[in-house]
Structure 1
Amino acid sequence: MNAGQATRSDGPLRNLPAYLQIVRGRLRIAMTYRQNALFMLAVVILQIFILRKVWTALYGEAGVVNGVALTDVLVYLTIANLQSWAMQDLAVGSYLYSLVREGRIAFDILRPAGFVPQMLAHLVGGTLSMVLFATAALPLVALVGTLGPPASPAAFGYWLLSLFFAFGVSMLLNLIVGLGAFWTTEIGAFSMLFTLVSQFLAGALIPLYFFPGWLRTVAELLPFQATTFTPVAMYGGQLAGSEAVQAIGIQFLWIVLLAGAVRLVWSRALHRIVVQGG
């Protein structure tokens, strides 16, 4: 192998130390300002508790509704809400907004690591910090919610693989929302609306198998269900075998489509920066 080939092959990894530094930085920030993360985690735990009470009341004396047992629904809702919270890192939107507002965006763009990969590294660090908090809170979550083992070893394997793709879909969605900072002077309200819509259509509040036919069709045409319902339904065994493989394929397709959308949005955002700069 000649020197030119070695340089080309090492190209994608040459900025890895910079990305890891960003991830570590986000972890340090999360630990420094852990009160905010703990408050948000407390909100999620309260939501899990309320959902448990509501669904238990809805089931009443019926042990099974639409072929789904109450215990399975409660396990689904507990894992879905905890997973959704861990992956919903909208802090990158606030970070982008501050960069644009204060004019510091140029420094990040000029860095050789690439702007979009930098933002993805921020999202990875933010999600890892949330996973750490969520893992530490599992005993309390089990107390107020319902936790249980996966439906089978195969279901656990499907869940792990699907969770990886769900993380990819979630990161790209969060990045698209964050890039909205280039077009609006206030991103907080839009982020809140995105959280409400995505949680509902992802199946974090109501499992998709309880949606009316037309609403489930709408949800399945959008990427949100790929972040929550798909992996958690595999964990519980509602998606298995060929259906699980097909669902993972759909997750991969969403990653490809959303990556293209991120590239398009970023190119438009970069054009706005050039225009504003004269």
Structure 2
Amino acid sequence: MVVDSLLVRLIGLRGLFRAGYRSVLTYRADLLFGVLGLVIQVSLTVAVWRVLYADHDAVAGVGRSTAISYAVLAASIQAVIMPWQFSSLPQRIIRGQIGVDMMRPQSIISQNLVQAIGTMVGRLPIGAAAVIAGLVLGGVQPPSSLLDCVAWAASTTLGIANIMTINLLVSMSGFWTLEIGGVLILYRFATAFLSGALIPLWFMPSWLKPIISWLPFQAQIYAPLSIWFGTRKGVDILSTLALQFGWVIVLAFLLKVVWRRAIHKVVVLGG
């Protein structure tokens, strides 16, 4: 009986995963324009950073090739893990479909996280195209060592868990406000800045950098890429991974707390 119940749950989650990546691949024209748009962005990014570094070999101790490569990889990663529509939860709340979701054997949290993973997988071709464009333009450099590559993979995994948890936390605000379009726009731009996707923490003001370094957002893009480029070594890498893991635990706890309160705010408007 337990095995059958587990099998039903797994089949349901597999269906949600497929729905996630199919939601990206179904609209071929949108996917194509997404690829073209990001390739253009990467090309312009490489050109702009080369101009900024024209008369300098290094800025804040960071060389030109590292800065350019960081900008290209940050844009590529952000396009994959931070799409404009990163959760269907707000729309399902407005349409009243959340009532059906709550009757499924899987929890709302697992349903949305698995679907988000599927969406991320569906957007991998966009990020891959941007990385290829960066390689062609000479704007991507490999990790400094195999150990850094392994540490980067671990850090990236924790960063993805971090951003998916925060995304779902923000989406759950729809239980209280119903319409959260403005909140999502504000959150997206704030995350782009605080995660280091727009400006690496290397170039932040001295008074601001320590604050952002302790926030969960820097664990999403800056932390993995700082390991990729070898700016963190030894104990510093371990402390970075520990901080990322700590934030994942804290955010997972907050997610459960918010959900327990949100379940009492369910209002079926449609369906």
User: Normalising to structure 2: TM-score of the pair?
Assistant: 0.90
Structure 2 CA distance, aligned partners of 1:193 and 1:274?
25
User: In the TM superposition, what is the alpha-carbon distance from 1:13 to its structure 2 partner?
Assistant: 6.7
The residue number in structure 2 matching 1:63 is 57
Give CA deviations for 1:76-108 in whole Å, capped at 9, x if unaligned.
Answer: 111111112211145244x22221111111100
Q: Which residue is 1:53 aligned to?
A: 47
CA distance in 1, matches of 2:59, 2:193: 20
Find the counterpart in structure 2 of residue 117 from structure 1: 110
- Residues of 1 paired with 2:130 and 2:41: CA distance? 14
1:215 is aligned with what amino acid? L
1:242 to 224, 235, 242: 235
String of CA shifts for 1:255-278, please: whole Å, max 9, x gaps: 0011011112111211111799xx
**Whole-angstrom distance in 1 between the partners of 2:41 and 2:129:** 18
Shift of 1:55: 2.4
- Higher alpha-carbon deviation: 127-136 or 11-20: 11-20
Distance in 2 of aligned mates of 1:260 and 1:149: 36
Q: Distance in 2 between matches of 1:70 and 1:78?
A: 12
Q: Distance in 1 between matches of 2:243 and 2:5?
A: 30
Name the SS for the 1:267 alignment partner: helix
Name the amino acid aligned to 2:223: T
Q: Over aligned residue pairs, what C-alpha RMSD do you find?
A: 2.4
Aligned 8 A contact 1:75 1:146 in 2:
yes
Partner amino acid, structure 1, of 2:47? K
- Look up the match of 1:231: 224
Aligned residue type for 2:16: I
**Conservation of the 8 A alpha-carbon contact between 1:90 and 1:178:** no
8 Å contact kept, 1:202–1:229: yes
Say yes or no: does 1:216 pair with 2:214.
Answer: no
CA distance in 2, matches of 1:212, 1:227: 20
- Alpha-carbon distance between aligned partners in 2 of 1:21 and 1:78, rounded to the nearest angstrom: 33
Residue aligned with 1:62, SS: coil
1:151 maps to which residue? 144
The match for 1:19 among 7, 13, 31 is 13
In structure 2, how many angstroms separate the alpha carbons of the residues matched to 1:263 and 1:123? 17
Alignment map for 1:85-96 (pairs within 5 Å): 85-93=79-87, 95-96=88-89
Residue 179 of structure 1 aligns to which amino acid in structure 2?
M
CA contact (8 A) 1:52 1:74 kept: yes
Checking the alignment, whether the CA contact within 8 Å between 2:23 and 2:119 is kept in structure 1 is: no
